């Protein structure tokens, strides 16, 4: 391919956080199974970048052929800094423009250009050359999409589209390309099975003043969904025209000729925005790079969604309490448990609950040193530990329900904790309570409240490397923009109807972990 290096991202074509097994190219090439990774391969070297949640996990999973780059740590190079060190000038780096957000592409391209290195669009992905059905590449799921009933959605999809059109009209946009899967699911009140742990449908949507076009695998849309979207004999602005998934780019090049300005989603907190390939299909003079208005519409739960979130959390809490009681009773009766047993059994307890649609992410059950890896996921192929009474067990889990999404963490100890474990747990608990009980003026930035969760730890020289809070969807994704609580970034503010996590922790590498997490809701306060 005449390339000196190739960048492999974790993304699918929609820049999703969780991807179908079919799209996990970084996992196939490296063996690393965490949800955050960027890989660079040259003719001589291979390197993988990941964040503080996965440092310990990556050290275990990567072979000695790999260099692990710990993102955000002092002295660690960025992707472009590493490439500049590894390659001479006048070399060519490739990346798949379908799998890189435009904002990320521009950053890479600008930095590499300073050192006379070219970033080239490689529409034929080299990983796809060697990873196919004959070499074990899993297909996409075949299950059909379905309609989310109005009693859970709370608002008709046509009303949501009308609200979106008003916002587009107010900023002078003739159309918008909707690329994020959770935005499409929310906008059209549909759900599916294309992404593990996320009830999403692989699709793009174009909303203009005159029509709505959806690009997807049409065979996955049931008659119920077609009727819901008014897709049959669609000739108006209030029905959805169905198109084949692969025709988006050529169709976009044709449609854009009649538009003056097209809103192309830009980076917003945890949402990377549209891909480089989609930006390239729209002439630069017609592009309107903006944060997707759907992100902010979706984050403010309507009354039905808010009620559903509260009810889902009550049922979810009952499932977790039932599991913990069963777990402690069986331990007392002499049964042996390991981390995989905890994960599987807790998932089963959740599935017994009304309206359950399975877990919202892979259940994290880390005992002792494994609990010190914040996002350790026990599998049979890893260093699974038996659970004894000499350390902590961190259980981070969540459920998908038709009326809401949950995410909760508890840390337990089956024996007598050390004084240090007690103090660390207490300081984490203090931080959790401080944040959850906050009353604040509406103009306070999200980033500024992070110190409340950390101060008790900071006072004794302790900290943790992950954020304190993230937004959460309503039967959608477990990490939802625009909410992110971390002191290092962000100046957005809270609104009524926002739901987000409160999850301070402490991790002593090789020893134990502690994390406590609840979902909190932003409501209007009535102080004296």
Strands 399-401 and 356-359: antiparallel
**Could you count the other beta carbons within 10 Å of the beta carbon of residue 422?**
12
Confidence of residue 1 (pLDDT cuts 50, 70, 90): very high
DSSP state of 443: T
Q: How far apart are CA 361 and CA 512, in angstroms?
A: 22
Q: How far apart are CA 251 and CA 244, in angstroms?
A: 10
Q: How far apart are CA 92 and CA 70, in angstroms?
A: 25
Q: Which residue matches tokens 């929609």? A: 14
Q: How many separate helices (H) and strands (E) can be counted in the chain?
A: 16, 26
**Could you count the other beta carbons within 10 Å of the beta carbon of residue 197?**
19
Confidence of residue 53 (pLDDT cuts 50, 70, 90): confident
CA distances for 30 relative to 10, 50, 337, 392, 477, angstroms: 11, 12, 30, 30, 26
CB-based contact 38:8 (threshold 8 Å): yes
pLDDT computed for residue 388 by the predictor: 94
% of the chain beyond a pLDDT of 70: 99
Q: How far apart are CA 320 and CA 427, in angstroms?
A: 23
Helix (H) or strand (E) holding 408: strand 408-413
CA distances for 388 relative to 84, 311, 367, 368, angstroms: 48, 34, 8, 9
Q: How far apart are CA 181 and CA 230, in angstroms?
A: 20
Peptide bond into 482 cis (omega under 30): yes
Q: Which residue matches tokens 């979130």? A: 309
Confidence of residue 375 (pLDDT cuts 50, 70, 90): confident
23-31 mean pLDDT:
96
For the cut 90, the answer to whether the pLDDT of residue 490 exceeds it is: no
For the cut 90, the answer to whether the pLDDT of residue 306 exceeds it is: yes
485: left (phi over 0), alpha (psi -120 to 50) or beta: beta
For the cut 90, the answer to whether the pLDDT of residue 434 exceeds it is: yes
Helix (H) or strand (E) holding 47: strand 46-50
**Angle ∠(353,359,360) on CA atoms, nearest 5:** 120
For the cut 90, the answer to whether the pLDDT of residue 301 exceeds it is: yes
pLDDT computed for residue 382 by the predictor: 64
Q: Which residue matches tokens 């002078």? A: 172
Q: How far apart are CA 264 and CA 269, in angstroms?
A: 16
14-31 mean pLDDT:
96
Strand, coil or helix: 366: strand
pLDDT computed for residue 380 by the predictor: 62
User: What's this model's pTM, rounded to 2 decimal places?
Assistant: 0.95
CA atoms within 13 A on the CB side of 238: 7
110: left (phi over 0), alpha (psi -120 to 50) or beta: alpha
Q: What are the φ/ψ torsions at residue 410 (nearest 5 degrees)?
A: -130, 145
Going by C-beta distance under 8 Å and a sequence separation of 6 or more, which residues neighbour residue 60? 382, 383
Q: How far apart are CA 485 and CA 482, in angstroms?
A: 10
% of the chain beyond a pLDDT of 90: 94
Q: What residues does 46 pair with on adjacent strands?
A: 41
CA distances for 123 relative to 94, 110, 120, 126, 433, angstroms: 9, 20, 9, 9, 50
Q: By C-alpha distance, which of 336, 427, 345 is closest to 389?
A: 336
Q: pLDDT tens, 163-208?
A: 999 999 999 999 999 999 999 999 999 999 999 999 999 999 999 9
pLDDT computed for residue 56 by the predictor: 82
Q: By C-alpha distance, which of 270, 319, 324, 259 is closest to 298?
A: 270
pLDDT computed for residue 500 by the predictor: 98
Q: Which residue matches tokens 């059905």? A: 133
12-28 mean pLDDT:
96
CA distances for 134 relative to 131, 137, 139, 142, 400, angstroms: 8, 7, 11, 19, 33
Q: By C-alpha distance, which of 455, 425, 436, 440 is closest to 501?
A: 436
pLDDT computed for residue 514 by the predictor: 98
Going by C-beta distance under 8 Å and a sequence separation of 6 or more, which residues neighbour residue 354? 315, 401
pLDDT computed for residue 381 by the predictor: 57
Q: By C-alpha distance, which of 301, 307, 316 is closest to 355?
A: 316
Q: How far is C-alpha 99 from the geometric centre of its chain's CA atoms?
A: 15
């Amino acid at each position: 391919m005449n390339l000196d290096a190739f960048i492999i991202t974790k993304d699918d074509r929609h820049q999703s956080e969780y991807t179908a097994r079919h799209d996990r190219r970084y996992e196939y090439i490296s063996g690393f199974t965490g949800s955050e990774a960027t890989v660079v391969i040259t003719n001589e070297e291979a390197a993988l970048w990941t964040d503080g949640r996965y440092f310990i996990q990556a050290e275990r999973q990567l072979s000695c052929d790999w260099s692990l780059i710990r993102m955000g740590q002092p002295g660690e190079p960025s992707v472009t800094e590493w490439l500049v060190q590894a390659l001479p000038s006048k070399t060519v780096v490739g990346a798949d423009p379908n799998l890189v957000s435009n904002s990320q592409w521009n950053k890479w391209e600008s930095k590499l250009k300073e050192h006379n290195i070219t970033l080239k669009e490689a529409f034929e992905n080299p990983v796809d050359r060697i990873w196919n059905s004959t070499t074990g590449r899993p297909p996409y799921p075949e299950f059909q999409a379905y309609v989310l009933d109005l009693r859970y959605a709370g608002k008709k999809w046509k009303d949501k589209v009308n609200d979106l059109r008003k916002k587009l009209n107010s900023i002078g946009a003739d159309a918008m390309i909707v690329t994020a899967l959770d935005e499409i699911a929310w906008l059209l009140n549909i759900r599916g099975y294309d992404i593990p742990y996320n009830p999403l449908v692989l699709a793009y949507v174009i909303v203009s003043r005159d029509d709505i076009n959806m690009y997807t695998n049409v065979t996955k849309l049931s008659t119920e969904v077609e009727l819901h979207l008014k897709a049959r004999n669609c000739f108006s602005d209030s029905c959805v025209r169905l198109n084949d998934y692969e025709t988006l780019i050529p169709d976009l090049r044709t449609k854009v000729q009649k538009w003056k300005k097209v809103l192309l989603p830009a980076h917003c907190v945890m949402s990377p925005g549209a891909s480089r390939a989609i930006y390239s299909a729209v002439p630069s003079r017609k592009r309107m790079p903006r944060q997707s208005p759907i992100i902010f519409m979706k984050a403010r739960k309507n009354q039905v969604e808010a009620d559903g979130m509260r009810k889902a959390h009550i049922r979810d809490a009952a499932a977790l309490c039932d599991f913990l009681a069963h777990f402690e009773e069986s331990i007392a009766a002499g049964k042996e448990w390991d981390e995989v047993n905890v994960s599987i059994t807790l998932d089963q307890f959740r599935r017994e609950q009304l309206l359950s649609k399975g877990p919202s992410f892979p259940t994290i059950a880390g005992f002792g040193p494994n609990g010190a890896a914040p996002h350790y996921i026990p599998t049979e192929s890893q260093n699974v530990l038996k659970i004894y009474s000499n350390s902590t067990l961190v259980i981070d889990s969540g459920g998908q329900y038709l009326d809401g999404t949950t995410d909760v963490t508890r840390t337990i100890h089956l024996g007598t904790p050390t004084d240090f474990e007690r103090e660390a747990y207490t300081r984490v608990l203090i931080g959790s309570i401080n944040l959850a009980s906050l009353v604040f003026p509406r103009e306070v930035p999200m980033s500024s409240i992070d110190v409340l969760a950390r101060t008790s730890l900071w006072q004794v020289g302790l900290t943790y490397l992950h954020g304190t809070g993230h937004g959460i969807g309503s039967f959608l994704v477990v990490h939802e923009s625009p909410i992110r609580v971390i002191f290092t970034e962000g100046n957005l503010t809270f609104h009524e109807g926002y739901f987000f996590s409160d999850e301070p922790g402490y991790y002593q590498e090789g020893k134990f972990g502690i994390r406590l997490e609840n979902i909190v809701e932003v409501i209007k306060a009535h102080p004296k």
